[in-house]
Structure 1
Amino acid sequence: MAAQNNLERLYAAHRGDLVTYAGRILGDRTQAEDVVQEAYLRYSSRNAEHAIDEPLAYFYRIVRNLCLDFKRAKVRDLEKKHLLSHALGLLEGVRDSSVSPEAEASARQELLHVSNAIAELPDRTRLAFELHRLEGYSFREVALELGISVGLAHLLIAQAIDHCRQRAGRNNEF
């Protein structure tokens, strides 16, 4: 019970700072408040058998991790929507140009191969590729978003493109 009271006092004393911290990461105060509330729930539901040496630092770590998880999920959702709209646009273009059913089936198959190839990529490589090729981020912006060097961003994107080419069975520009 004393641990719960200490947590409540810690939360009450630092909630505003935690929301400000999360808001800087997310760029949205409303989402930041949701993340801080979720952090409180996670902190309060943890196994209390192990004492935390720095409870405030631990709280900040939970908030940071939740913010990063939230941003990743948001990017994945945007990427899925973008891929779907792009795929639907390709298929609509195929239909509109009076292409044969065989060509449409071939285009669908190629789209499926590329989509599967993207899904096979390691998370960081996939995210770098999607940010650059689908969202239009520059290499520098990809590097900043992922917390990596610009050179590594180039390398990850090149690896993703090579992987997609191989899986799609093409050697031309992807």
Structure 2
Amino acid sequence: MAEQDWLSERFAEHQNRLYAVAYRMLGSSTEAEDAVQEAWLRVGRAETGQVENPAGWLTTVVARVCLNMLETRRARREESAGALPPEPAEPRPSTHPVGQATPEEETLLADSVGVALMVVLDTLTPAERLAFVLHDVFAVSFTEIGAILDRSPAAARQLASRARRQVRGTADASDAARSAKREIVEAFLAAARGGDFTALVELLDPEAVAIEIRGAEAVAAFFAGRAQAARLALVDGVPAAVWSHRGRPKAVITFTVHDGKITRIAVETDPDRLRDLDIVHLLAGDEERR
């Protein structure tokens, strides 16, 4: 009973981290919860007398559960799609030793592993994904990662390096697209505040839709002279506009951009949904504040 109590306390103590590991690995809150539950069942059947590092041991158990789930997911896709894309090519030499990006690059990469990059993570093999997420996001050593994958630390390092290169490439492309969209949104807000109908029309796709208004000229006429209090912001990492009252967001205006033109404008005012959004207001000089 004492051993079970100790195990329950350690699991509860590290449960938030275990869920975070599972979520980053799987990209699904439901699957992450399932993985943590399966991990609990596994540790309940394990011998804990030799466990010296509960946090590391529990992370290993969850990682192995996630690895199994990723491999099952991959096999299921192979069955349904006929074949998977070819394995990524070996990475080209970099300016840094293999697996040794600068601290600044490591931090940016770790911070960028969110919803926007789940797509590229899905292109990695299960082993690459595990190595990258555990090392770059959760600082798990390559020795521990190698043990989970039944590979050497050097092989685990190579897996993480390969994954990191793919993630870095996607992050660079995402940054470029985000920068271009920000310029368009910023120009739209300036034209709307200034009542510049011509500039608004030029920014809009001919078939643009906003609320229930269709057509570039109709949308431009609606917004001309408006949006006086709307401010440029990043909403869940994407350029948008936010109208706030007494410091609280009351409306979020999002923009769909295709080929450099705004094709759709949507306005979200539901308080519950607004509460769940990560809003970073953009100030002059590219400064940010939450």
TM (normalized to structure 2)? Answer: 0.31
Structure 1: stretches of 5+ with no match in the other structure: 84-129, 151-174
Question: Residue 24 in 1 paired to residue 24 in 2?
Answer: yes
Q: Write the distance in 2 (CA, Å) between the matches of 1:55 and 1:44.
A: 13
Q: Write the distance in 2 (CA, Å) between the matches of 1:22 and 1:37.
A: 11
Q: Which SS does the other structure have where 1:132 is aligned? A: coil
Task: Point out the structure with the larger helix share.
Answer: 1
Q: Write the distance in 2 (CA, Å) between the matches of 1:14 and 1:58.
A: 11
User: Per-residue CA shift, 1:102-141, capped at 9, x if unaligned?
Assistant: xxxxxxxxxxxxxxxxxxxxxxxxxxxx4325xxx76477
Q: Write the distance in 1 (CA, Å) between the matches of 2:124 and 2:72.
A: 17
Q: What value does the CA root-mean-square deviation take over the aligned residues? A: 2.6
Structure number with larger C-alpha Rg: 2
Query: Which runs of structure 2 are paired with 1:1-174 in the superposition (5 Å)?
Result: 1-48=1-48, 50-83=49-82, 130-133=83-86, 139=89, 144-145=124-125, 146-147=127-128, 148=159
Matching residue's letter, 1:61? T
Question: Is the 1:35–1:67 Cα contact (8 Å) retained in structure 2?
Answer: yes
Q: Which has the higher contact order (CA 8 A, sep 6+)?
A: 1
The Cα shift of 1:38 comes to: 0.6
Q: Which SS does the other structure have where 1:131 is aligned? A: coil
> Who is 2:267 aligned against?
none
> Who is 1:105 aligned against?
none
The Cα shift of 1:13 comes to: 1.7
User: Per-residue CA shift, 1:44-77, capped at 9, x if unaligned?
Assistant: 11135x4211122110000011111100101101
TM (normalized to structure 1)? Answer: 0.50
Matching residue's letter, 2:75? R
Question: Is the 1:20–1:29 Cα contact (8 Å) retained in structure 2?
Answer: no
Matching residue's letter, 2:84? L
Q: Write the distance in 1 (CA, Å) between the matches of 2:45 and 2:69.
A: 20
Matching residue's letter, 1:47? E
Question: Is the 2:23–2:31 Cα contact (8 Å) retained in structure 1?
Answer: yes
User: Do the aligned partners of residues 56 and 68 (structure 1) sit closer, same or farther apart at CA in structure 2, a change above 3 Å counting?
Assistant: same
Matching residue's letter, 2:72? A
Which moved further from structure 2: 38-47 or 139-148?
Answer: 139-148
Structure 1 runs (4+) deviating above 6 angstroms are 140-143
